[in-house]
Copies of this chain bind each other. A is one copy, B any other.
Amino acid sequence: MPFEDKKKSRVTLVDVARRANVSRATASLVIRKSPLVGADTRARVEEAMRELGYVYNMGAARLRAERSHTVGVIVPNLTNPFFAELLSGIEAVIDSAGMVVILANSGDLVERQDMVMRRMREHGVDGVIVCPAAGTEPAFLHQLADWDLPLVQVLRQISEEVDYAGSDYAAGMRQAVDYLASLGHRTIAFAVHGPIHSAYRERVEGFCDAMQSRGLDPNMIVGLPIQIGEIADAAHLLFGEGEQPTAVICFNDVIALGLSAGLYDRGLKVGENFSLIGFDDVTDAEAMRPRLTSVSTGPVTIGGNAARLLLDRLADPIRPPRRVVNETVLHIRQSCGPVAISALQQSR
């Protein structure tokens, strides 16, 4: 008897076709929801699929159809909540397009990024969303494009010739500076850390431009450690010799959280006699005390934009490159206050 009830091998399209009394080709059309098949045939095939517990074999399909329904995502760091939120935004959009995300971590190292990118190609991803590691050369991205690998840069823009999704960091900096200036602050520090890349430069330039256009000195830029635990202990770096700042703008919320702790340790009251603005507005900002005033860059939104950009490019590989830059929003909470009288007098 040709019966084979016990778990033998996997159920394939041939099994389904046989069961439904149609050919392999017709069964294939049913799966792909082609309008070519008749209604009753379709029903019969679907019934057979259900009865046999058929599972589509994407791998086999991809081989022939050159579409893997798979998207690579490369981030420099997973433990930073900002990237986790970005990833979440990407995943949601990719998922709802019926595709899956293959994840990789570059550790912000170009060599690892090379490796990982190669692996993505081997796995035949349809496209890649990458937050380029610091130091990535434009040539690297161009080569990938030459290899016909659809690509989107996210957060950091290396090349103008490749799609990009990010946020308007410079405008965000202007919002922060304007707000502090409106509270009377004139000596404002900028606390930074981390590797240098386009997002870094954009923020620094945004800060400097905003300061200069108000006639303020943009040169109080302070470098801090990467690890959040060490940032607090480095808060004293804000107060070197010369003029003392009455407010600080942070490169990101990690720094803001760290400095908030460090300023507390020094006996300063954030929001009262010292002002602090974060950047990114991660969910923790709401939970700090005083609540952190922060420039929201919307990582989930950026992720979604990047994913949509990639889907669009998949649909039309030769469209010219696009930039999708979302607006930042200044979220005013409690960590800033009017400049203290004493500080004003000090700076005279």
Interface residues of A (CB under 8 A from B): 7, 55-60, 62-63, 68-70, 73, 78-79, 81, 83-85, 87-88, 91-92, 95, 100-105, 116, 118-124, 146, 148, 228-229, 231-232, 257-258, 260-261, 264-265, 283-284, 286-289, 291, 300
Q: How many copies of this protein are present in the complex?
A: 2
- A105 CB contact (under 8 Å) in B56, B59, B91: B91
A288 to B264, CA, bound (A): 10
Chain B, Cβ-Cβ closest to A254: B287
Asked whether, in the complex, the Cβ of A58 is within 8 Å of the Cβ of B289, the reply is: no
Which residues of B lie under 8 Å from residue A79 when comparing CB positions? Answer: 81, 84-85, 88, 283, 300
Residue from the list B55, B101, B286 in contact with A228, Cβ < 8 A: B286
A78 engages B101 (CB within 8 Å) = no
**If the complex has contacts A78-B84, A284-B257, A287-B257, are A105 and B92 also in contact, measured as CB distance less than 8 A?**
yes
Is the pair A100, B81 in contact by a Cβ cutoff of 8 Å?
no
Which 4 residue pairs across A and B have the least CB separation, nearest first? A84-B84, A78-B88, A229-B286, A264-B289
B92-A100 in contact (CB<8A): no
Question: Are B284 and A284 in touch, CB under 8 angstroms?
Answer: yes
Assembly CA distance A263 to B237 (angstroms): 31
Residues of B within 8 A of A123 (CB): 58-59, 69-70, 100
Chain B residue nearest in CB terms to A105: B91
18 A–B contact pairs at CB < 8 A? A55-B118, A59-B124, A63-B63, A78-B88, A78-B91, A79-B88, A84-B84, A84-B87, A95-B116, A100-B103, A100-B119, A100-B123, A101-B102, A103-B103, A232-B287, A257-B284, A260-B289, A284-B284
Q: Which residues of B contact A59 (CB under 8 A)?
A: 59, 62-63, 68, 123-124
Q: Which residues of B contact A84 (CB under 8 A)?
A: 78-79, 81, 83-84, 87
